[in-house]
Amino acid sequence: MAEYIHVGKSVTKIDSLGLAAGMEKFTDDFPTEDTLHCAILYSPHAHADIMDLDTKAALEMEGVVDVLHFKNVSRVLHTTAGQGYPEPSPYDTVLFDRKVRFIGDRIALVAAESREIAVEALKKISVEYKVLEPLFDIEKAMNPSAPRIHGDEEHVEIPVAYRPEVNLAAEVEIAFGDLEEGFSEADFTEEHTYTMQAASHCAIEPHAALAFFDARGRLVIITTTQVPFHVRRIVSRVLDIPLHSIRVIKPRIGGGFGGKQEVILEPLVALVAWRNKRASRIVLSRREVFVSSRTRHAMRIRLKTGAREDGSITALEMDALMNAGAYGTHALTVLSNTGSKVLPLFNKIDHLTFTGKSVYTNLPIGGAYRGYGATQGYFAFNQQIDMIARRAGQDLLEYCKRWHIQEGETSDVFRALGEGKKGVSQTIKSCRLSECIDRGAAAIDWYEKRGKQLKSGNDRVKGMGLAIAMQGSGIPQVDMASASMKMNDDGSFNLLIGATDIGTGSDTILAQIAAEVLCIPMEKIIVLSSDTDTTPFDTGAYASSTTYISGSAVEKCARNIKARIITAASQILGLEEEDLSLDMEKVTAPKSGQQVTYEQIALSTLYSRDQLQIQAQASYVSQESPPPFIAQFAEVDVDEKTGRIYVVKFISAVDCGQPINPVLVEGQVEGAVVNGISYALWEDYIYNSSGKMLNPRFWDYKIYTALDLPEMKTIVVGSFEETHPFGAKSVAEIAINGPAPAIANAVYDAVGVRMFDTPFTPEKVWRKMRS
Amino acid sequence: MREIRWYYPENLKQLPDLLKREGVIPHGGGTGILRGSLNHIEGLIDLGNLQLRYVRYRNGKIEVGAGTTYADLIEHLSGTDPDHILVKALKAAASTPLRNRITVGGSAAFFPVWSDLMGPLLALDAEVTLTGEKGGSYSLSDYTKNGELRKMSLITSVQWKNKSWTSFYHRESRTKVDYPVFSISILLKVRKDTIEDIKIIIVGTARRFTQCLQIEESLKSLTLDQARIEGIGSKLDVQFTGRRNFSAEYLKHCVGIQLERGLKAILRS
Amino acid sequence: MEAVFRINGKEKTFSFDSDATLLAVLRDSGYTEIKEGCREGACGACVVLLDGLLINSCQVFAASAAGKEIITVRGLGDVHSPHPVQSAFVDSGAVQCGYCTPGMVLAAYSLLQKNPDPDDSEIKRALDGNLCRCTGYVKIVEAVRLAAGRMQGNG
Ligand SMILES: Cc1cc2nc3c(=O)[nH]c(=O)nc-3n(C[C@H](O)[C@H](O)[C@H](O)COP(=O)(O)OP(=O)(O)OC[C@H]3O[C@@H](n4cnc5c(N)ncnc54)[C@H](O)[C@@H]3O)c2cc1C
Ligand code: FES
Ligand code: FES
């Protein structure tokens, strides 16, 4: 492997000092003049028609400037999913509808001189409802006699199954071989149903957006988004504002995790600004984020496997029922991922089916969430293989190592299942999962503790659990990223990228890649990202794509720059291009010893001879989506009398290809693991019988604090992915998949009960142990 | 937006008049006030200038000014008695920045079911001193039960006999930083291997708090060897109402287990 | 109403509604380094030092802070001369999205003022009022340890 100067080094994040000093700006930190503040009226009913709505009293209040609702806003069907065009999610949303579909659905928006006035004015809007029967249960919602949540106009822009008449937002089906034959070859079968609950991303920065006009009358939107280019496109379409009149800027973002891959607030502030020709602003409260932004999809998975005595799996049948909530944003693709990111992992199963349905209900809206359906799939899959290995009397670690997909192998699932269309077939070029398993096991002393039920004080019993997973790196043949660069007088470079740093450090990683190719110190790369006016296109921060796809675009762009520098140097030095190579900030001719610095090249090309701006651009679309791999180990103590689970230690060993920045890799894994553990143990949407969320507050929706941490360790198992210029794969999502199943497997190891539904509250574990 | 009048009295004599005004209430740390609706509040009396932030020792008692914060009290007691039950209890209450704000007076007046202060104080047989309409000293337990005492009066201090106890405190919560669903406070005094005195208070029960008198009585004057803890938990007579993530049945089971563990731990030490 | 605060060393007069929180007043006056994550005292993004004590500014009426001294994260240092706690966060990789960071830095600073040599459990306890969804806290705890070491080394 090559010696790198920046790649593989834990360069500090370029924005971190400004953030630590409180100087970097987030959306709501930007001042705007003469601003209208917006507040939203939400539905108190889970399912109702709006018969009438009266805003007179609100409009009469001093300080109220505008009220938006279904009567004065045109009804343009769209999806809020920030996906590429045409989106695979159904067009089932309008800004304001005559119908409300969950408690928290929006009804009207007040724009006023202050936020307080806007909030007061909401109380003055009177709405007349005809309450309809609400649907919360996915089975009931699919019943042909159930009321319909969506109408006939709703549709998907691409040819996929969409049946709103039976409340189906999406369906998926793939099959290989012959299940019946497969099960008949089996010596034993396991069939279980697993459920996972909805969850909030809990980015500490709530969603916010502001819109204002620049001096040329163009509309500028600053917003908490993972997808600035999709925001521009969708806002333009929904509001019928010419795209060229809109500029979207993504400032610092306080965490996304998928929650900000949604175009929710931008059309609203844009519309208020456009109608009133004034700046407008909205910041959601935490309660609004919980109820009215997006959640992880609750899912129920039935998994049936047939296996021979030696544990080899002869047939697998997975059926996923996903609760889409009131709108179908990401309903198809999250569901597909439950199969497509999970099933290729054990690629030697001849008889296999995956079926799934995404069901509309009158509950908060599901959406993209780190893990994106794979989390739910792996919860089922990993418990099932733990059971099979146990029944077959196999050592779990050896079992996993024997059956997981290997380098040079493929899976039919890759080809069969894509994002709203067929997938892309691919062969695995890098996989160090077996090494991940070995190193993780050694770090946690697996064999000393697994199956031993070691006891400690206060009735605690120890258990050990493993979960393995893969994910993807971007969406192949769909996601496009681009970059452009130009050279400055002193030999520094501006790097302009559409890629969206939402706290992940992508600005830094992409600068590392550019600095590596150009052989310059980090500070000579000046990064500007995610501004639709100045940076080139990028699909955005989702699908674990930035390092792999945007990184490849940046590498290509930097190589183009390098070629131009060499050309210029060859003219200056009067030498052949082949005789020149890059050294730190200069071009040298190793044979003659001649050299010219970047600064000299820049000055010469800008001011003296054959003048031109050294600049380049590049775009990149990937042909494949190489999966990263992970093995995650949980050591838990279970209180035999109260059922409380104490996660004592958690180890993740990850193969993400060449880590571009190891500390950032660890940070991604640690963040995902802690989120995964608190989701497995506590996080939950608790509803009353009317479908109202009862705990939309941090004090009542428990996420982990520093005090709750287990001992944690991340092992970065390097590999080299040959389809990436520096051998990198993704790492942002994968680590959230393991905590729930690893803990569940550890609980079984400790006390012999199987936890089929998250969260594993002490009471649930206690009830299981009692029965 | 609500127009609230703020008062910043500088001595206690100004209080009775202020407290008589309609809708005017004391402001300790403000953490409880901000949580609720401000609709009925006309005025707030800031207690910050009244020199109520102190811990002092008088007549064999520890006296804590109403304006003392949780953090103040922890810091003070840790210096003299790091094993004090209030140190154990308050250390885990709320969060570091909130402990810098929450006052003893405000918390005793507010007494939420998740209070980490009240169990220990009730076990210590604390008293409150009031100023205003109902000026004087009252047992804390009476104060919690008698709504009349709260009218037009405020707490200036909380005090209890400065005796040394062995203590145990347990708070049951979801994650570590959370309101406790219940807490158990146990104080024990042993003389020559004999249980001389024991207090057990459970906060968070259906009646807000419960003193386990029967268990206390059954253990008093036994020697440490005689005390049988096994089974005490399942016989415990307390009622809970179901809470988020915890049914009443589970809470009752769980409090029994934790009580037995607490008693075993405290008798062992 | 009107009140004077001494903020980051400068006396300033603020006018605000009588029911306004300190958080709202300071953010509206341009102190945007103080973040808002919940307005319920649960996330710690809004913490400042009030007369030297770490508090949630969303849980404090501005009126009750009249005349007091306030320090925000910008009062500790800036990009030109960062405070050792700020540098330690940068060097440890403890800053991801950075939204929790101003609060975390202040919580760490406040701890180290009182306890220059904390152990891990004391560090975690001191951060119990600050939520971070990005880092999993591991590197934040490391940062506080690093800051403690550096600050002691520097005398
Ligand atoms: C997010 C959060 C989490 C919390 N978690 C916990 C926890 O885990 N454990 C715990 O013990 N507490 C906890 N608390 C604290 C508790 O909920 C109350 O907020 C607190 O006890 C109130 O104290 P205060 O000084 O802020 O009172 P204030 O808010 O100032 O006052 C509360 C009430 O008491 C009255 N009052 C104030 N001072 C006096 C006085 N001297 N005499 C008479 N009446 C007075 C007020 O008029 C008001 O009605 C938490 C609070 C918050 C916001
Ligand atoms: S905004 Fe104050 S604690 Fe969250
Ligand atoms: S770094 Fe994003 S919340 Fe802490």
Helix/strand/coil (H, E, C) string of A349-361?
Answer: CCEEEEEEEEEEC
Whether C97 is in the pocket of ligand 3, judged by its Cβ within 6 Å, is yes
A578: CB partners within 8 A, 6+ apart: none
Question: With an 8 Å Cβ cutoff, are C129 and B48 in contact?
Answer: no
Task: Please tell me what DSSP assigns to residue A78.
Answer: B
Interval B53-62: pLDDT, tens: 999 999 999 9
- Are A681 and A590 in the same domain? no
Determine whether A320 is exposed, middle or buried from the number of CB atoms within 10 Å of its CB (0-12, 13-18, 19+). buried
Per-residue pLDDT, averaged over A202-225, amounts to 98
Please tell me the distance between residue B107's alpha carbon and the centre of ligand 1 in angstroms. 4
Instruction: For domain B55-161, give its CATH number from 3.30.465.10, 1.20.1250.20, 3.20.20.70, 1.10.10.10.
Output: 3.30.465.10
Tens-place pLDDT, residues A385-440: 999 999 999 999 999 999 999 999 999 999 999 887 888 999 999 999 999 999 99
pLDDT grade, residue A523 (50/70/90)?
A: very high
Domain boundary among A563, A592, A621: A621
Best mutation target among B177, B232, B259 (most A Cβ atoms within 10 Å) is B177
Please tell me which residue of chain B has the smallest CA distance to C3.
B6
One-letter amino acid of A372: Y
What's the rounded Cα separation, in Å, for the pair A463 and A446? Answer: 10
Residues A82 and A44 in one domain: yes
The structure's pTM equals 0.98
- Distance of alpha carbon A374 from alpha carbon A130, whole angstroms: 39
The single residue listed with the structure tokens 């940062």 is C143
A466 plus A484 within the same structural domain? no
Taking a C-beta distance cutoff of 8 angstroms, is the pair A591, A579 a contact? yes
Cβ-contact C147, C112 below 8 angstroms: yes
Q: Which two structure tokens, joined as six digits, stand for B248?
A: 């009443």
Confidence at residue C153, expressed as pLDDT on a 0 to 100 scale:
82
* Residues A603 and A630 reside in one and the same domain: no
CA-CA distance, A688 to C6, in Å (whole number)?
47
Specify the CATH architecture of the domain C2-75.
Roll (3.10)
Which tokens is A54 given?
Answer: 């009266």
Q: Which of A464-468, A559-563, B133-137, B256-260 has the lowest mean pLDDT?
A: B133-137
A502 alpha carbon to ligand 3 midpoint, in Å? 10
Residue B234 has pLDDT above 80, yes or no: yes
CATH code at position A580: 3.30.365.10
**Cα gap B30→B47, rounded to integer Å:** 10
For residue A257, what pLDDT band results from cuts at 50, 70 and 90?
Answer: very high
Do residue A363 and residue A417 come from a single domain?
yes
Cα torsion angle, A509, A515, A518, A519, sign? negative
pLDDT at residue number B152: 87
Chain C interface, best mutation among B101, B171, B178, by max C CB count within 10 A: B101
For the residues B127-137, what does the mean pLDDT come to?
Answer: 93
What confidence tens digit (pLDDT) does each residue in A263-302 have?
999 999 999 999 999 999 999 999 999 999 999 999 999 9
Is C136 close to ligand 3, i.e. is its CB under 6 Å away?
no
Burial class for A579, CB neighbours closer than 10 Å (0-12, 13-18, 19+): middle
Residue A684 belongs to a domain: yes
- Find out whether A583 and A519 touch, Cβ atoms under 8 Å: yes
A470 plus A349 within the same structural domain: yes
- A550 CB-near residues (< 8 Å, 6+ apart): A481, A483, A497, A498, A499, A506, A510, A538, A620
Residue nearest to atom 3 of ligand 3 (CA): C132
User: Please, are residues A197 and A756 in contact by the beta-carbon 8 Å criterion?
Assistant: no
Whether the CB of C44 is below 8 Å from some CB of chain B: the reply is: yes
**Are A755 and A728 in a shared domain?**
yes
Is the preceding omega at residue A759 within 30 degrees of 0, hence cis?
yes
- Which residues, 6+ apart, have CB-to-CB distance to A760 below 8 Å? A645, A680, A681, A743, A744, A747
Find chain B residues with C-beta within 8 A of A120's C-beta: 1
The rounded mean pLDDT for chain B is 95
d(CA A257, CA A261): 8
Is residue C155 very low, low, confident or very high in pLDDT (cuts 50, 70, 90)?
A: very low
User: Which residue(s) pair with C11 in the sheet?
Assistant: C6
Q: State yes or no: pLDDT of A1 exceeds 80.
A: no
In chain C, which residues have their Cβ closer than 8 Å to the Cβ of A699? Answer: 40-42
Neighbours of chain B (3+ CB pairs under 8 A): A, C
Percent of chain A with pLDDT over 70: 100
Contacting residues for A300 by C-beta, under 8 A, at least 6 apart: A138, A193, A194, A195, A320, A321, A322
Which residue minimizes the CA distance to atom 3 of ligand 2?
A: C41
The radius of gyration computed from the CA coordinates of chain C, to the nearest angstrom, equals 15
How large is the ipTM? Answer: 0.98
Q: Which of A621, A716, A711, A712 is nearest to A661 (CA)?
A: A716
Query: Would you call A533 helix, strand, or coil by DSSP?
Result: coil
Domain B55-161 and domain B166-268 have a common topology:
no
Start-to-end CA span in chain C (Å): 44
What pLDDT is recorded for position B1? 60
Query: What is the enclosing helix (H) or strand (E) of A495?
Result: strand A493-497
Ligand 2: which residues within 6 Å by Cβ?
C 36-39, 41-46, 56, 58
With 80 as the cut, is the pLDDT of residue A556 above it?
yes
Q: Do C18 and B3 touch (CB under 8 A)?
A: yes
Q: What percent of chain A has pLDDT over 90?
A: 97
Q: Does B69 sit in the ligand 1 pocket, CB within 6 Å?
A: no
* A106 lies in some domain: yes
**How far is it, in rounded angstroms, from Cα A605 to Cα A587?**
14
Dihedral of CA B157/B161/B162/B163: which sign? negative
Question: Mean pLDDT throughout A617-646?
Answer: 97
Residue B196: CB atoms within 10 Å? 11
Domain count, chain A: 3
As given in the structure block, the two tokens for residue B198 are: 């024991």
- The residue type of A427 is T
Answer yes or no: is A144 within a domain: no
Q: State whether residue B91 sits within 8 Å of chain C by CB.
A: yes
Query: What is the second-level CATH architecture of the domain B166-268?
Result: 2-Layer Sandwich (3.30)
Q: Is the pLDDT of residue C154 over 60?
A: no
Q: Is the pLDDT of residue A313 over 80?
A: yes
User: For A565-595, what is the HEC assignment?
Assistant: HHHHHHHHHCCCHHHCEEECCEEECCCCCCE
Position A198 in a domain: no
Task: Verify whether the Cβ–Cβ distance A705 to B177 is below 8 Å.
Answer: yes
The 10s digit of each residue's pLDDT in A328-350 is 999 999 999 999 999 999 999 99
Q: Is the Cβ pair C60, B48 closer than 8 Å?
A: no
Tell me the average pLDDT across B233-248.
93
| Token duo for residue A242 | 């010419």
Q: What is the CA radius of gyration of chain B?
A: 19
Which ligand does the CA of B171 lie closest to?
A: 1
Same domain for A273 and A339, yes or no, is no
Residue A344, Ramachandran bin (φ over 0: left; ψ between -120 and 50: alpha; else beta): alpha
CA distance A39 to chain B (A): 15
Q: Are strands A525-529 and A493-497 parallel, antiparallel or unpaired?
A: parallel
For residue B35, report the distance from its CA to the centre of ligand 1, in Å. 9
Residue A456 at interface with chain B, using a CB cutoff of 8 Å: no
Domain holding A614, by residue range, is 16-24+480-621
On whether both A449 and A369 belong to a single domain, the answer is yes
Chain B positions in Cβ-Cβ contact with residue A678 (cut-off 8 Å): 175
B138 touches chain A (CB under 8 A): no
Judge: A504–C77 Cβ closer than 8 Å, yes or no.
Answer: no
Residue spans of the domains in chain C: they are 2-75, 84-151
List of residues 6+ apart from B235 with CB closer than 8 A = none
Give residue B115's pLDDT.
97
pLDDT given for residue A517 in this prediction: 98
Q: Are strands B208-211 and C2-7 parallel, antiparallel or unpaired?
A: unpaired
- A59 within a domain of the structure (yes/no): yes
Residue A543: predicted pLDDT: 82
Helices A739-751 and A374-391 meet at what angle, rounded to 10?
30
pLDDT of residue B35: 84
Residue A9 lies in a domain: no
> Is residue A540 domain-resident?
yes
The correct answer on CATH 1.10.150.120 for the domain covering C84-151 is: yes
Q: Which of A587, A621, A655 is the last residue of a domain?
A: A621
| A744 domain-assigned | yes
Q: Which residues lie closer than 8 Å to B142 by C-beta, 6 or more apart?
A: B149
What's the CA gap between A467 and A383, in Å, rounded? 8
Question: What b/e readout covers B70-100, taking b as 16+ CB neighbours within 10 angstroms?
Answer: bbbbbebbeeebeebbbbbbbbbbbbbbbbb
Q: Mean pLDDT over all residues of chain A?
A: 97
Q: Strand C47-50: give its sheet, edge to edge.
A: C10-15, C2-7, C69-71, C47-50, C53-56
Lookup: tokens for C25: 């007043």
Smallest Cα–Cα separation from C134: which of B257, A503, A699? Answer: A503
Picking from B254, B263, B269 by the largest number of A CB atoms within 10 A of its own CB, the best residue to mutate is B254
Q: What is the mean pLDDT of residues C17-31?
A: 97
Of A355, A294, A295, A359, whose CA–CA distance to A322 is shortest?
A: A359
Instruction: Name the residue of B31, B38, B114, B243 whose CB sits within 8 Å of the most ligand 1 atoms, as the mutation to test its pocket.
Output: B31
Q: What is the pLDDT of residue B2?
A: 73
